[in-house]
Structure 1
Amino acid sequence: MTLPNYFASLARYHVWATQKLIDTNLRGLSDDDWHRDCGLFFRSVHRTVNHLLLTDNIWFSRFAEGRSQRVPLDTELHQDRAEVCKALGKAVTRWSPWLTTLTPDRFDGDLSYVRNNGEQVRIPFAPALGHVFNHATHHRGQLTAALTAMVHPGPELDWVYLLQQEARSPT
């Protein structure tokens, strides 16, 4: 599999897993569970979903627009659950179309950006792009664990389930 195809698959997974989490679990939480401090890095489901949206925006700006947003990583973009879930669901869909604009050799290059603390960073492009999807998987895993601890069913978000679904679908 080529790197462009690999990242296209990751981008599809990013959308699938995010939407599945939103549709099957987050919309139906009580307000108390949505805002409860459940020991996550960003404390609540609400704040963690906001962080997912914020960081997706930050990384997309770095990759697709060549600019660095310097904002605190705990910034609350939306107070309303429906708004943050809708914005996150929309944000994750940007990656697939953008990836089609890249030439295969772009994956061998570097990504330069400015961190929140003002530090200029230059890192390999492909692993940095992998971080975007891995970071979201990490926080979706935290959310799934929090849901389970609150006695809500956690969705099965393993990438392999999407791959199996795609393998069964006629092309």
Structure 2
Amino acid sequence: MRAHFAMLARYGVWVLPRLYEHVDLLPEPEYRGEAGLFFHSVHGTLNHLLVAEHLLWYRRFAEGASPSLRLDDEVEHDRAALRARLMDAAANWGPLIASWPDDRFDGSLDYRSTQGVAHSLPFAATLAHVFNHGTHHRGQITAAITRFGHPAPELDLVWMLQQESSAR
């Protein structure tokens, strides 16, 4: 389990610069404008990734904390600062995963939802959700980029694996 989640954490670090190579080229109206996404804009979706994956889920896994945030809270308005915070936050998952004993993956995660409801879920499956969630929203962003008429990045996990294999 640890090796699998360590790979997903590496992917989270690998994928963001590739996504941002394309996001950084978006003019402000495309970056902040309505794109038909659940969190409306590319900015809103990236901000949601910071809130959900790093300010909520990371703290639940790392500290057992359940912060009082809404999933659409704008925690970073500045696009460069949001980019930097996402990159920094993605780098935190690998060391956290490495720090857990093997039996942690077989346990449960107890936390409170953003509505204050107590949950106890399978640890590994819930961790998988966090990484899957990021893939889902990055896919939405790439769809918006192509809808705006720009080329989309290639973000498939297998590309990272091929790069790692070639580097060995």
User: Who is 1:40 aligned against?
Assistant: 37
1:101 aligns with: 99
2:155 alignment partner, one of 149, 154, 157: 157
Q: In the alignment, what sits opposite 2:23?
A: 26
- CA distance in 2 between partners of 1:70 and 1:158 (Å): 33
Q: Which residue of 1 aligns with 2:65?
A: 67
Q: Percent identity?
A: 46
**Normalising by the residue count of structure 1, what TM-score does the alignment of the two structures yield?**
0.96
Residues of 2 paired with 1:153 and 1:109: CA distance? 42
Separation in 2 of the partners of 1:131 and 1:123?
11
* Structure 1 residues without counterparts, runs of 5 or longer: none
Partner of 1:14: 12
Taking the aligned partners of 1:103 and 1:90, their CA distance within structure 2 comes to 24
1:124 to 122, 125, 139: 122
Distance apart, 1:19 and its partner CA: 2.2
Q: 2 CA distance for matches of 1:118 and 1:79? A: 26
The count of corresponding residues between Structure 1 and Structure 2 is: 167
Q: Which structure 1 residue ranges, 4+ long, deviate > 4 Å from structure 2?
A: none
- Aligned-partner residue type, residue 59 of structure 1: W
TM-score (norm 2): 0.97
SS at match of 2:37: coil
**Residue 70 of structure 1, CA deviation:** 2.0
* Structure 1 residue 90: Cα displacement: 0.8
Cα deviation, residue 28, structure 1: 1.7
- Residue deviations 1:91-134 (CA, integer Å, cap 9, x gap): 11100011110111110000000001111000000000001100
CA RMSD of aligned residues (A): 0.7
Amino acid at match of 1:33: E
Distance (Å, rounded) in 2 between the aligned partners of 1:6 and 1:48: 26
Whether 1:49 aligns to 2:41 is no
The secondary structure found in structure 1 opposite 2:110 is: strand
